[in-house]
Amino acid sequence: MIVESLGVEKYMDEHINSTNYLLLLMKYKGLQSPETEMGLNTYTNKSNITILYQNQVNGLQVLTKDGQWIDVDPTDRFTVLIGDSLHVSSSNITIIQQKSLIQEINMDSKNIKLPKIDFSHEDLKPHTLVWNQVKTQVHKALVEYGCFEASFDKISIHLRKSIFESSQELFDLPSQTKLKSIRTKPFNGYVGFYHPSIPQYESMGIDDANIPHKAEKFTQILWPQGNTSFWRMILESLGVENYMDEHMNSTNYLLRLMNWIHDKAPKELVDEEHPLLCKPFTHLEFITFSYTEEGMKCDFALKTYCGFQLSN
C-alpha cells in the first residue's frame, strides 16, 4: 500500500525480492538527574521504511517540514516512517522528516498530532474500496508528515508484552556477553553506552530476524546453552512462529554465491555535454557514508551522497 501511495508500485516485486529486514531493539536509561538529556541525536531515517513501537515511555518526536516537533505518544499504535531511500524512488514525497528521542517533552508540540490510520478492517485487500480509501489517507500523511501512526488489532497485548519482557532479558545480560554480537555495519550488532553523544542509549540489531535459522543463530551467540523462549518471541513478533517447529525438524541449508550488478547510466550516453547529474544510488554504501565524519555533519546526507538537490 505504501509503495502504491507513492506511485512506485511497479518496483514492488523487485523491492520485495531484494529486501532485507532488521529487528532493532533499543533501550534508553532513565535520567540520573532532573536536567534534560538527549537519548539520541536528531536523525533522518536512512532505510526505506521503519516501523516503531514504544514501550509506554514518552520521548519520541518527529520534525515536520514546517519545523515543528510533534510528540508521538506511546500508544498501542505503530509509528510508520518513510526513509531517505524512498525519496530517490518517488517524486510525490516533498518533505524530509527527522526524528529524535529525548527525555523532556517540548510543550509547544502538544497541539499537533500525527495522522492515525486504521489497518484493522477485514476488507482491507488490494483493489477494494476500503484499500483505496486507506491508501489515500496514507498518501496524504506521507506527503504532509513523512510518517503516520498505524493501528492493527491483530497483534495481541500478550505478544507486545512478551516482546518487551524478552528485550529486557536481553539488555540485562553482562556487557561482555552482549558484545559477542559484533557490529559489522550500521545498526546491526550491539551498540552500548560508550559514545558521549548517546550516553543513555544501547541497542541490539538482528539482521533478517524473520528467517528462523538466523534468529536461532543470533540466540545461540548470546545464550550458548539455548534460549528457545527468546527465539520464539522474535519469530512471533514477525508473524512466522507457526513455522518454528517445522523449521527445527526439517531445516536444510543452501549456500548461494551471488553477484549484484549496480544500475548505472550506459557509458555511451555520458560525455562532456551529457554528464552524470548524480552519483548512482547504492543503499548499503549510502548507509555507510551516513555514519562517516562527513556524513554525520550533513544536514541532508542523501543530497551530499548522491550530489543532487531534492525538490521541496
- Residues 11-22 have pLDDT tens digits of 555 555 556 667
Would the pTM of this model clear 0.75, i.e. be above it? no
Q: What are 278-298's pLDDT values in tens digits?
A: 777 676 677 778 778 888 777
Which of 74-78, 93-97, 147-151, 308-312 is modeled with the greatest confidence? 147-151
Cell of 277: 547529474
| Strand pairing class (189-191; 201-207) | antiparallel
- Exposed e or buried b per residue across 208-224, where buried means at least 16 C-beta atoms within 10 angstroms of its C-beta: bbbebeebbebbeebbe
Identify the band that residue 101 occupies on the pLDDT scale cut at 50, 70 and 90: very low
pLDDT given for residue 7 in this prediction = 65
pLDDT tens digit string along 32-70? 555 544 555 555 666 667 777 776 666 677 776 667 777
CA distance 103 to 199: 12
Q: Furthest-apart CA pair in the chain: how many Å?
A: 64
State phi, psi for 120 to the nearest 5 degrees. -95, -5
Whether the CB-CB separation of 34 and 245 falls below 8 Å is answered with: no
Question: Does position 230 have pLDDT exceeding 60, yes or no?
Answer: yes
Looking at 172-176, 261-265, 293-297, which range is the least confident one?
A: 261-265
